[in-house]
Amino acid sequence: MASVSIEEAPAETRVPWYKKPCLWKELSSVEELEAAISAANSGGKMTVIDFYAGWCACCKSSFPALCRIPASNFMAQHFNFYKANIEEGNLASYIKKKGVRGIPHVLVFHPDGSDCIGMSGAFKKMEALRKNLDFIARAEKKSFVLDPNGYAINR
C-alpha cells in the first residue's frame, strides 16, 4: 500500500494545527474558562490561558513553541495551562471585556482567579513569555506590569 504525504492527504483528513496534541488543555466557553481559573480548581497554581483563532497565522506560528512551555517541570509546578479558541463559545466577547485587542494573547490569573497580567503570545515574543512566567512564578510580590520591551516587572 502506498503511503500518502501530508501534502497529498485530503483536506478533510488533516488535523487543524490547533487540534494537534499539546499540553495546554482546551477551553471552549467562558463558563469553562471561569471554572478553570476558580480557586477551587486551580490547585494553588496560577492559570495561564492562550487565546487564539484557527485563522490566525501568528497564532499558528507560535503554537509549537507555546506547546513546549508546560513540558518544563518548573512551569508545570507553578501554572495550569489552557488554550481558548475565540471562535468558540463567547470567548471573543470575554477577551474584549478584558481589554485584549489582538491575538495571540496570553492572560495569567492568580490562584484565587484574580487577574495577574496579560501579554502577547506571538512567536517573536515566546522568549519574553517564558521569562515572564518564570519571573512571575519566582516573584514575592504578585502585582505586575510589562515594561516597554514586554517583560514583566513588579508593579
pLDDT surpassing 70 at residue 5: no
Q: Tell me, what's the pLDDT at 123? A: 72
Cell numbers standing for residue 127: 522568549
| Domain spans of the chain, in order of start | 20-154
Question: What is the CB-side half-sphere exposure of residue 126 using CA atoms within 13 A?
Answer: 15
- Cβ atoms of 58 and 103 within 8 Å: the answer is yes
pLDDT digits (tens, 9 = 90+) for 48-78: 999 999 999 999 999 999 999 999 999 999 9
Q: Tell me, what's the pLDDT at 3? A: 46
Please tell me the distance from the alpha carbon of residue 120 to that of residue 59, in angstroms, as a whole number.
Answer: 10
Confidence of residue 85 (pLDDT cuts 50, 70, 90): very high
pLDDT digits (tens, 9 = 90+) for 18-58: 889 899 999 999 999 999 999 878 889 999 999 999 999 99
The winner for highest mean pLDDT among 7-16, 75-84, 120-129, 136-145 is 75-84
How many CB atoms are closer than 10 A to CB 82? 20
Please tell me the distance from the alpha carbon of residue 126 to that of residue 62, in angstroms, as a whole number.
Answer: 7
What is the distance of C-alpha 128 from the center of its chain? 14
pLDDT surpassing 50 at residue 1: no
Cα 52 to Cα 17, 85, 136, distances in angstroms:
11, 5, 22
The CATH T-level fold of domain 20-154 is Glutaredoxin (3.40.30)
- Burial (CB < 10 A; 0-12, 13-18, 19+), residue 63, is buried
Q: Tell me, what's the pLDDT at 10? A: 58
| Cell numbers 516587572: residue | 153
pLDDT digits (tens, 9 = 90+) for 95-130: 999 999 899 999 999 999 999 999 987 777 888 999
DSSP state string for 105-117: EEEEE-TTS-EEE
CA angle in degrees (0–180, nearest 5) for 119-141-99: 30
